[in-house]
Each structure stands twice: as C-alpha cells, then as structure tokens.
Amino acid sequence: LERSGHLKAADSPVFSSGSLNQFIAAGKPAWSKARGAVSSLLRHDNPILRDDEALRAKALWPRSVVCMHPPVQIGGYTDFYSSREHATNVGRMFRGEANALMPNWLYMPIGYNGRASTVVVDGTPVQRPLGQIKPQNADGPVFAASEKFDFELEIGFIVGRPSSMGEFLSVEKAQDAIFGFVLLNDWSARDIQAWEYQPLGPFQSKATATTISAWVVLAEALEPFRIDGPRQDPKPFPYLRQRGPHNYDIRLEVALRPRGSDEATTIARTNFGYMYWSSAQQLAHHSICGCAMNVGDLLGSGTISGPEESQYGSLLELTWNGAQPLQLGGGVKRAFLEDGDTLEIHGFCQGAGYRIGFGGCSGTVLPAAMLASARSAAPSVVL
C-alpha cells in the first residue's frame, strides 16, 4: 500500500523493513496518519481496495497463510510489579499478612531489567527452564528442571519516543511517549526464583521467555477506554502525580489447554484497570534517574490481578503456590504448567457496538533440554 501511494505516513517510506521501529520513530503524527489511512482504506464505501482486485490481492492476506513475526525490534525490556492485589497475595504467601507489602511498594513503581533477547511472539513454544532449586528442608540446592513453571498475565507497552541520558520525563510526557500496547506473558519459574531472588531479585527465573502478542494496539485507539485507577495513598511524589484517568478498561482472559486436549479452560478473567501504578507513571519513574529510553523499548505492567480469586493473574495465586490445584476440563488438575500445556491470553476493549481486540498471546511448554555440559557440571541432577 505504501509503494502504491495509498499509505503515506511520513516523508519517506517506513513500512519496508521487518519491524515497526522505523515507523514508530517517525513520530506521533505519523502514527495517527497511518491509523486514519488504514481505517479509511478498509471502509465499505472506499473504492481504492474494494474495487481494485489486483491491489486487494497484494494488500490483504488470509491470516491462515501468514506467519507472524515480532512487531518491534526490542532493545531493552523492563518488567514492573504494579498490581497491589498481586503484590499483596505474594507477600501473604511468603511473609505473612503483617508484612505482605514491602515498605517501598506504595511509594514507587517497583521493577527490574529483563532480557530483551528472549522476548518472543505469540505462538512460539517455550522450553521449561533448568536451574538451581532448593527443596524444602534441604540443606542445599539441586540442579533440576523447574517444577513450578508459571505464567504472568500482563500488558506491555512500546516506547515511541527516545529520551537522552539525564532527561526526565513527566507523567504527561511519558504518556505522550507511549506508542502502543501488547498482551504479555512473562513466564516464571517460581522454584528457581525462590532460591535466587535475594538479595537482587529475579534473574534466571524470568529470563526463559517473555511472550507478546503480534499486534500493537496504538495508544490513540485506547483513548475512549481511559479510566481512573485505584486511589493512591500515600500521595505520590510530585514527579509521579497524574491528572485525569491514566488506566485503561482492557478486559483480559487466560485459558489453559492441557497436553493432549483440544479443550481450553478459562482460568482467570480480570481487567487492566486494577493496576495501582499506571503505564505513564512507570515510564516517568524509569526516567527519573536519568535512564535513556529508546524507540521500541518494551515495558511490562507486572502481573495483573484483581480483588477476586477468579481475577488472579498467575498460577502462583490461583493455586496458592500449588496447595489448591485448579480443576480443568476432562477431570485434569493443574498446580503449575506441565510439558505440553498451552497457555493462552486474550484481551479486548468493548465499545458501543464495536470491539478493539489485541489478538492472542499463547505458548506451549516444551520439555527441558538437559545439556551435556550442564549435566557434567551439576552436583545433583533431577529430571
């Protein structure tokens, strides 16, 4: 369409590469212009595609014959921890009710730098990770395949405007710098994480894979779905204060299809609107130390959980660390993910007579690969 002259988003071509980065770098006016042009081309009363069979054959392809690729070249990835319900649930599990939330949690968006190299697109299989695990009551760890492999239901956003080292983004500037949003699953090995996370936080347990949807929904498209988030108390520092609604009414569902089954069971339904810290606050906080941001950087919301048990965004919560396994279709039970299981995330915004979908975000768990070098180096190997 760009080559044919019907889709001009910027002064020079931006859609001829294998990612959206060049288009994103063209800036916000280009994003809006392209969105408007595509919408116009697909209207029933626009003859350009409707009446030109040859052009239509080049421009429109059946999804069944298309292999989707990652939409963006991601240089940096940061994952946050911004659902109060999720953070509280995890704290109750491991620290008790009195210390459920760490003292710093209500003052800033907590996050960690993840691995951009293992961000994969919807449908990519994910291999069960190997690592050090300390069994309960054991004196030391063993080297083994994770037995508590989990998903994390998240929304990710793509940075659309670069910032230089030392540049601080206000919440308003941060909001303006968001290109769009994707579904995100930050796969997590809970047993590896439990042994490694102190004192510096998650490392190998979160580096196996992060799956995103193949479609980026522009921030502009979500404007009608802005809502207020939870009341923030104590009041954030001035650099984190925001005016007006900064959360989004995105309805989310998680389904689990066990190996050998054609039936997926919906195990959670929740909403992005529950997030305590907004995407704009996350990006503003990320920049306040002078950290530079690049076009195409990915920031994850952190696990999205609501107040009800059916709204929890991880198996860690849904099964309370495996103590209460889920009942799936066909009499199957799951505490954590097993080899051959497929995890699917879907999301949408519901308008009056229309719906904005996010596509899918799925992955199937493959068995762990036991490398010869790892086997010989490990003091104790458990398969």
Beta strands 326-327 and 333-334 are antiparallel
299 beta partners: 78, 157
Q: Which residues are CB-neighbours of 362 under 8 A, at least 6 positions away?
A: 122, 123, 211, 342, 343, 344, 345
DSSP 8-state assignment for residue 105: T
**Side by side, which strands form the sheet with 355-366?**
126-127, 355-366, 342-350, 251-257, 265-271
Q: Do the Cβ atoms of 153 and 182 come closer than 8 Å?
A: no
Q: Do the Cβ atoms of 326 and 333 come closer than 8 Å?
A: yes
Catalytically active residues, by annotation: 86
Residue 353 backbone class (left: φ over 0; alpha: ψ -120 to 50; beta: rest):
left
How many Å apart are CA 381 and CA 149, to the nearest integer? 18
